[in-house]
Amino acid sequence: MNAILEAASLTKRYHDFTLGDISLEIPGGCIVAFFGPIGAGKTTLMKLLAHQIPASTGAVRVFGLSYDDREREIKNRIGYVPQEPSFYADRSVGFNARFAAPFFERWDGGAFYRILDEFKISREKPVKHLSRGQKTLFSIALALSHEADLLILDEPTAGLDIVLRRTILDRLRQFVSDGERTVVVASHITDGLEEIAEYVNFLDEGKLVFRSEKDELLARWKRVHFREGALSPDLIRQFTDVRVQPFGSSGLIRDFSAVREQLAAGIAAGDVKVENARLDEILIAMLKGE
């Protein structure tokens, strides 16, 4: 795996929260998602990866370079979209863009204004009059306008309507389509991101509790629908998130391959149906420790 972003023993300590000992490698040319409940440490991790805050211990390397001595070079190749974007609030969108532009070596003003128009954000409007979602869109426009090789986004779809959410997800998919560029995205909701992410990470209480390729995860976790009496009680006890419904029940199974043979007869008889579990179901089951 050719890692584009590496973190080694990354820790951030606050007086009431610690993001602990995170080591990870993120490959190039894909979308990597970090999920977790609110307060799990996703924003802290994104800030550490984008060098927005200093780490208490550990190090981050991006494109094989260290922020310690190559910060400017790395940030020229990164687009960072924070959860709560901060600009010169009293000034217009255009002013903020003109302020930011000279810092980037490969700024594309035409692309920036095209994206801004696509998002229907007026360049004359003061930033303080933008909604939270519009500020995020403005931040995304900035991140996409300097030919970045890596996007780090924190809750990019929060506060957006369904049309804009789809637009952003399509943009992200398009961004990685050349197989060279990478997206790292954190969110507390899987909605939409589960379709485009190739790798899934799960954070809880400041710990990285789980990492997997999404397809591998979906191949293992299945939701099994079954008629009353079609499965043995022992088998049903292996299920999590069991839902009893009038015309049949369902449950999540953690390792489908281990029970495939036990389900075969039921599947053949039409009493059992197996479908892919949704990512949010899997994450909730993991969060509950089931």
Partner 1 sequence: MFAIARKTSFFYFTHLVTFCAPAWPALLKGKGGIISMLAFWVPLWLSSSVLWSEKQESYALLRMLPVTDREIVRTKFGLALAAAFVYWLILLLFNWWAWESSWEYPFYRALANLTCAVSLPLVACWYIVSWRFGRSALTVGVLAFIALAIIPTFALNIDRWDWIGAPGIAAARWLAEGPWYLQFCIFLIVLAAYYGLMQVAVRVKQKSEASL
Q: How far is the CB of 18 from partner 1 (least distance, A)?
A: 15
Does residue 96 bind partner 1 (CB under 8 A)? Answer: yes
Task: State which of residues 6, 27, 37, 76 lies at the interface with partner 1 (CB under 8 A).
Answer: 76
Does residue 99 bind partner 1 (CB under 8 A)? Answer: yes
Instruction: Provide DSSP, 185-207.
Output: EEES--TTHHHH-SEEEEEETTE
Query: What tokens appear for 260 in the block?
Result: 């495939």
End-to-end CA distance of the chain: 31
Does residue 51 bind partner 1 (CB under 8 A)? Answer: yes
Question: In this complex, which beta carbon is closest to partner 1, that of residue 52 or of residue 212?
Answer: 52
The site for partner 1, by CB under 8 A, has a size of: 25
Q: How far is the CB of 72 from partner 1 (least distance, A)?
A: 5
Q: Which span (17-25, 83-91, 189-197, 251-259) binds partner 1, by CB under 8 A? A: 83-91
Backbone angles phi, psi at 16, to 5 degrees: -120, 5
Task: State which of residues 9, 23, 89, 213 lies at the interface with partner 1 (CB under 8 A).
Answer: 89
One-letter identity of residue 1: M
Nearest to 185, CA basis, from 209, 155, 163, 158: 155
Nearest to 181, CA basis, from 30, 25, 2: 30
Q: Answer positive or negative: Cα dihedral of 106, 1, 33, 47.
A: negative
* Residues within the interface to partner 1 (CB under 8 A): 50-54, 71-73, 75-76, 80, 82, 86-90, 96, 99-100, 102-105, 142
